[in-house]
Structure 1
Amino acid sequence: MVNARPAAKPTEAELTLLNVLWKMGPATVRQVHDEVSNYQKTGYTTVLKILQIMHEKALVIRDESNRAHVYAAANSETHTQSSLIKDLISKAFGGSTSKLVMRAIDDSTSAKEINDIRQLLDSLDK
């Protein structure tokens, strides 16, 4: 599932479709469209075009063995998230992970989330 060459950074619309593919697994354009239509108004041809562009950008792979092409994410959700975070840290936080974390943890962070973060940090220390 992991693509050998680095994929381009997905746009917001592409991330929407990637989230559907990560959730559903390989799917036809119709299946992706039906899922996206549950929470936003999008035309079938729009989903098709975005998936075609994503294929050109190596964000998805396409199985053309059947009449209805089946699309799948070229990289895992974790891989894509890591790539986006690394890019954000580099561009917006001068390469500083701690600046990103300090910015992400603000007054709106719940006590439970802070506790989860503490547990994660403790497990990394061990």
Structure 2
Amino acid sequence: MAQENSTVKPTQAELTLLNVLWKMGPATVRQVHDVVSTTQKTGYTTVLKILQIMHEKSLVIRDESNRAHVYAAANSQTQTQSSLIKDLISKAFGGSTSKLVMRAIDDSTSEQEINDIRQLLNSLEK
């Protein structure tokens, strides 16, 4: 039985595959494997199994109308990131968004990133 995907948090391996699907759009296992194998040593059957598990968890949807099944992310990248951030804020920062932001912004934050953040804050205030 599939779980509700808003409560299911993807593992690191699942996030890797989701990132491929968000970038490529719907893809076969072979296509996903070809992309993943350029940066890490992963077998075809491993990618297949992870996608099958992700389908059971409702993290991906599967089109079975062709011989080669086509997988697609069930949620957008933004939805998934928001869910993960909310979970992180709750678990690691006691529910405080400002604590997360203060931890995230440190000496390694570039001037351009600071300007982007400033613009975002200005637009939120309007």
For Structure 1 versus Structure 2, the TM-score category normalised by the shorter chain is: over 0.9
Code of the residue aligned with 1:65 in structure 2: it is S
Which residue is equivalent to 1:40? 40
Percent of pairs with identical residues: 87
SS in 2 for 1:38: coil
Q: How many Å separate the matches in 2 of 1:5 and 1:96?
A: 24
- Which blocks of at least 5 consecutive residues in structure 1 are unaligned? none
Question: What's 1:82 paired with?
Answer: 82
**Amino acid paired to 1:72:** A
Deviates more, 1:5-14 or 1:51-60: 5-14
Q: CA deviation at 1:39?
A: 1.1
TM normalised by structure 1 equals: 0.95
Distance in 2 separating the partners of 1:49 and 1:95 = 35
- Report runs of 4+ in structure 1 exceeding 2 Å deviation: 4-7
> What CA deviation, in whole Å up to 9, does each residue of 1:49-89 have, x standing for no partner?
00000000000000111110000000000000000000000
Structure 2: gaps (5+ residues): none
Given that 2:5 and 2:59 are in contact with CA atoms closer than 8 Å, whether structure 1 keeps it comes out as no
C-alpha displacement at 1:41, in angstroms?
Answer: 1.1
Aligned position for 2:122: 122
What SS class does the counterpart of residue 42 from structure 2 fall into? coil
Instruction: Say how many residue pairs are matched.
Output: 123
**d(CA) in 2 for partners of 1:78, 1:17:** 15
